C-alpha cells in the first residue's frame, strides 16, 4: 500500500553541513521540515569520503559553523587541518547538540521533486515510497557527491577489488602486500597516495593531468592560536565572510612583476614554508596576469624538481599547460617525495593512454600493469550530477535536465528560473568549491531563511513584490521569484 502524502513546509535533500544548517534555520523560523539522506549517517561528504589521508584543506578554525558562539567556543580541534574522522565527529556533535536527528530520515534517496502549478507546492518522492507535499524544496545535495567512475573498456572484467575514493568502505582497506593501481591525481589521490604507498608492495599511479600542490605543514593545533581566535571569533568570522574565498589569508596588493626577483622568491618561499592555500594571495595579479602567474608556476615546478630525484618523473609531475590557481590548489603531506620510493611507479597517460582494464590490471598503449586492487580517484560529476540524478520538474512539467541541456543556468547558484521555491545550496554559478564551503553554505542558507531583522536589510520597498507580505515576514522562508534575466551561467 502506498504511503499517505505528508504535508510539511519544507523538504531538505541531504544531511551534510548544508542540510543540517538549513534544518536548524527553518526550525528557528517555526517551520516544519524533513531531511532525506541517502547515507546511513549524517555528515555528507565527510560521511562518504573515508579514503586514506582524507582531511580538509581549509584550516580547522575556519572550517566550522559560525551560527552559534557557544558551539564554536566549546569545540576543540586537535590539528591545524582536521581529518575526516574528526570532522565527522564534529558534525555528529552538532546534530546531537541541536537535536536535529529527529527530523532526519536516513537511508532514503529522493527520486523525484515535481512542482504542482495548481497548488504551488512541491511533490517529493523517495525510493522508500515516501510522498511529501512541501511549499519549499531545498537541495543540499553537495557539489561533489556524485562519484564518477570512468567508463574504461573492460572495467567489469577486473578480477580484483576496486574502490572509489568518494565511496570508500567504512571498515577501511588494508593494501599490505598488494600491487595497487591508483587512477587519477586530483585532491583525493594526492592525499591518499603517500599512505597507500607505505602499505602496498607496489603502487602504480596513472596520471593524466598533473596538479599544483603545496605542502600542508599540518601539526597539532597551537593552543595559543586557538585562544586568540576564540577571543576574537566575531571579527575573525566577519573578515572570512567578507573575503574573496571565505577565509582570511595574508594578501598582498602588489604585482608580482613590480618587485625584484629576489624579493619575489623570498615571498614564495615564505608561503611555501607556511603551507596551505594562502599561496595564491602572494601577489595581487597572480590570477589576472599570465606573466605574473608564470613566476609562481615556475617556482612550483622548481620545487617539484628539487624534491623528486628522477628528472623524467619530476617533469611528468610538473603542470605545464594551465596557470597556477585556475584549478583549486591541492594541499599535501609528502606527495611529491612519495615518487622517490622504489615501490612507486608513475605512468604518464598523456604519453601512453589507458586502452583497457583487464582481468589482472591496466593496459596502456605501451605496457600492461598487473594489480591486485584498483583505486579510482576520479572525482565527481561535479555541481550538477546529484541534482540531475533526481527527476526535478518545474513549471509546466519542464525538467531540470532539459532546462540545463546547454549548461546550468542559475541565479547566483541558489535558484533556477521556472522552479519556484526550489533552492540549491552552493549550486552551479556560486563560489562553492572554490571557497571555504561552510562560509558559502551559511551565506546561502541565511539568504533562504533570514532571521529577524534581515528583511529590513535585504527587501527594500522597491522589491516588495518579491518579499513576504505577511506580518510574520521575519519568520518566513524567502520565496524564489527568479527571472531569466538575472540568471548566471555556471560551468559543467
DSSP 91-115: HHHHHHHTT-GGGEE-S--EEEEEE
16: cell is 551534510
Which are the contacts of 408, defined by CB distance < 8 A and separation ≥ 6?
A: 383, 384, 427, 428, 429, 489, 490, 491, 492
Cell 551534510 belongs to 16
- Tell me, what's the pLDDT at 478? 62
Query: The pTM is what?
Result: 0.91
**For residue 138, what are the β-bridge partners?**
12, 423
- Residue 44 and residue 141: Cα distance in Å, rounded? 8
**pLDDT higher than 50, residue 483:** no
User: Per mean pLDDT, which range of 205-209, 293-297, 373-377, 483-487 is the poorest?
Assistant: 483-487
- Tell me, what's the pLDDT at 432? 86
Looking at residue 404, the DSSP 8-state letter turns out to be T
Distance from chain centroid for Cα 79: 20
pLDDT, tens digit (0-9, with 9 covering 90-100), for 162-211: 999 999 999 999 999 999 999 999 999 999 999 999 999 999 999 999 99
C-alpha neighbours within 13 Å on the C-beta side of residue 237: 19
C-alpha neighbours within 13 Å on the C-beta side of residue 285: 13
* Mean of per-residue pLDDT scores for the chain: 91
- Residue 248 and residue 238: Cα distance in Å, rounded? 10
Residue 47, SS3 per DSSP: helix
C-alpha neighbours within 13 Å on the C-beta side of residue 425: 31
**Mean pLDDT in residue range 305-314:** 98
CA nearest 212: which of 302, 288, 310, 111? 302
- Residue 63 and residue 397: Cα distance in Å, rounded? 39
pLDDT, tens digit (0-9, with 9 covering 90-100), for 234-292: 999 999 999 988 998 888 999 999 999 999 999 999 999 999 998 989 999 999 999 99
Q: How far is CA 226 from CA 62, 93, 238, 241, 288, in A?
A: 11, 19, 17, 19, 34
Distance from chain centroid for Cα 118: 37
Question: What does residue 205 show for φ and ψ, rounded to 5 degrees?
Answer: -105, 115
What confidence tier does 321 reach under pLDDT thresholds 50, 70, 90? very high
Q: Max alpha carbon distance in the chain (Å)?
A: 76
Torsion of CA 358, 362, 367, 368, to 10 degrees: -60
Q: How far is CA 126 from CA 13, 21, 129, 429, in A?
A: 10, 22, 5, 27
- Residue 277 and residue 187: Cα distance in Å, rounded? 13
Amino acid at each position: 500500500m502506498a504511503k499517505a502524502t505528508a504535508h510539511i513546509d519544507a523538504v531538505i535533500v541531504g544531511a551534510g553541513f548544508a542540510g543540517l544548517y538549513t534544518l536548524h534555520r527553518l526550525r528557528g523560523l517555526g517551520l516544519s521540515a524533513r531531511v532525506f539522506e541517502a547515507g546511513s549517517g549524517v555528515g555528507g561528504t565527510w560521511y562518504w569520503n573515508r579514503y586514506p589521508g582524507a582531511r580538509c584543506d581549509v584550516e580547522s578554525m575556519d572550517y566550522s559553523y559560525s551560527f552559534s558562539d557557544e558551539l564554536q567556543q566549546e569545540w576543540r580541534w586537535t590539528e591545524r587541518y582536521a581529518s575526516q574522522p574528526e570532522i565527522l565527529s564534529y558534525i555528529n556533535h552538532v546534530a546531537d547538540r541541536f537535536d536535529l536527528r529527529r527530523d532526519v530520515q536516513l537511508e532514503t534517496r529522493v527520486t523525484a521533486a515535481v512542482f504542482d502549478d495548481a497548488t504551488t507546492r512541491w511533490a517529493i518522492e523517495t525510493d522508500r515510497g515516501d510522498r511529501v507535499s512541501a511549499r519549499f524544496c531545498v537541495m543540499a545535495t553537495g557539489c561533489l557527491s556524485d562519484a564518477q567512475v570512468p567508463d574504461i573498456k573492460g572495467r567489469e572484467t577486473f578480477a580484483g577489488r576496486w574502490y572509489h575514493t568518494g565511496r570508500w568502505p567504512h571498515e577501511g582497506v588494508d593494501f599490505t602486500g598488494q600491487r595497487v593501481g591508483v587512477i587519477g591525481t586530483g585532491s583525493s589521490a594526492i592525499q591518499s597516495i603517500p599512505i597507500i604507498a607505505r602499505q602496498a608492495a607496489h603502487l602504480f599511479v596513472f596520471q593524466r593531468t598533473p596538479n599544483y600542490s603545496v605542502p600542508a605543514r599540518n601539526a597539532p593545533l597551537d593552543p595559543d592560536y586557538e585562544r586568540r581566535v576564540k577571543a576574537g571569533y566575531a571579527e575573525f568570522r566577519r573578515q572570512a565572510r567578507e573575503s574573496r574565498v571565505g577565509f582570511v589569508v595574508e594578501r598582498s596588493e602588489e604585482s608580482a612583476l613590480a618587485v625584484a626577483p629576489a624579493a619575489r622568491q623570498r615571498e614564495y618561499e615564505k608561503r611555501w614554508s607556511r603551507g596551505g592555500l594562502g599561496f595564491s594571495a602572494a601577489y595581487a595579479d597572480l590570477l589576472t596576469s599570465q606573466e605574473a602567474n608564470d613566476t609562481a608556476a615556475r617556482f612550483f615546478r622548481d620545487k617539484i624538481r628539487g624534491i623528486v630525484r628522477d628528472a623524467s618523473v619530476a617533469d611528468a609531475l610538473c603542470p605545464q599547460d594551465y596557470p597556477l590557481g585556475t584549478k583549486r590548489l591541492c594541499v599535501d603531506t609528502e606527495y611529491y617525495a612519495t615518487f622517490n620510493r622504489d615501490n612507486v611507479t608513475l605512468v604518464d597517460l598523456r604519453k601512453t593512454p589507458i586502452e583497457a582494464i583487464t582481468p589482472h590490471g591496466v593496459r596502456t598503449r605501451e605496457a600492461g600493469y598487473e594489480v591486485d586492487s584498483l583505486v579510482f580517484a576520479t572525482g565527481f560529476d561535479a555541481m550538477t550530477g546529484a541534482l540531475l540524478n533526481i527527476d526535478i520538474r518545474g513549471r509546466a512539467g519542464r525538467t531540470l535536465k532539459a532546462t540545463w541541456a546547454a549548461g546550468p543556468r542559475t541565479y547566483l547558484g541558489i535558484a533556477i528560473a521556472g522552479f519556484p521555491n526550489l533552492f540549491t545550496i552552493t549550486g552551479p554559478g556560486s563560489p562553492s568549491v572554490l571557497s571555504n564551503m561552510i562560509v558559502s553554505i551559511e551565506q546561502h542558507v541565511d539568504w533562504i531563511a533570514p532571521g529577524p531583522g534581515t528583511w529590513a536589510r535585504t527587501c527594500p520597498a522597491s522589491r516588495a513584490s518579491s518579499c513576504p507580505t505577511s506580518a510574520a515576514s521575519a519568520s518566513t522562508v524567502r520565496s524564489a521569484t527568479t527571472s531569466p534575466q538575472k540568471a548566471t551561467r555556471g560551468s559543467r
